[in-house]
Amino acid sequence: MRVIGAEVSLDDHVLVTRARAGDLEAYDRLVARHTASAYRTAVLLGAGPDSEDVIQEAFVKAYRKLSRYRGESSFRSWLLAIVANETRNLHRSRSRRDGLVLRAAAAGPASEAAEDGAVGAVLAGERRSALVHALRQLPVRDREVIVCRFFLDLSEEETAETLGWPRGTVKSRTSRALAKLRGLLDREEVRHG
């Protein structure tokens, strides 16, 4: 493959146009560019150990639906909406494994921290574990908006596109979800403090 300097920094719009024309390399570059965001989205929305399957399915669906992408939002937002939908499909179809996912998420940071042996790492792991625990207790829609806005750092507009909600709903639900999350974290702190 010959890479010309300008091609290294091709924007998503150019890559989408090329991929629509049958350029598989262009789509591979889109996949490479957005895999980390897609994976983070799937994990944070609760796909857990099935996250890789979710994003693989999302990328396949995105490729098939590429002709429907209108460019009204960023390709990333459009793709993350597909990831969110695939994660919802997973929740509907799989048996109740949320308890296992929660235990695995809570155990992960603590075991990493124990390996480090540093007090700061232990405390950070405990805070991360408490946050994951509190986040998992939120209703699904509240969790989704918190994940999009603060973990994925999406704008209100991108969050609305990703979740398929009106922008006003994103704004109001974000406020309510943050209040609920703060309440859950405060209760955790009182219990363990």
Chain segment 159-179, per-residue pLDDT in tens: 999 899 999 999 999 999 999
* CA angle (115 as vertex; 113, 119 as ends), nearest 5: 45
Q: Is 76 exposed, middle or buried (0-12, 13-18, 19+ CB in 10 A)?
A: buried
Using the structure block, give the residue that is written with the tokens 């897609």: 38
Computed over every residue of the chain, the mean pLDDT equals 80
Short-list 146, 6, 19, 8, CA closest to 71: 19
Kindly give the interhelix angle for 156-163 and 167-192, rounded to the nearest 10 degrees: 100
* All domains in the chain, ordered by first residue: 8-93 (1.10.1740.10), 98-192 (1.10.10.10)
Of 57, 30, 4, 41, whose CA–CA distance to 145 is shortest?
41
The amino acid at 92: R
CB 10 within 8 A of CB 62: no
| Residues in CB range of 121: below 8 A, 6 or more apart | 112, 113
152: pLDDT confidence band, cut at 50, 70 and 90? confident
pLDDT band of 116, cuts 50, 70, 90: very low
Band the pLDDT of 100: cuts 50, 70, 90. Answer: very low
User: Hey, what are 36's tokens?
Assistant: 């980390």
Compute, in degrees rounded to 10, the torsion defined by CA atoms 182, 152, 83, 180: 10
Q: What local confidence, expressed as pLDDT, does residue 131 receive?
A: 82
**Residue 33 pLDDT level (bands cut at 50, 70, 90):** very high
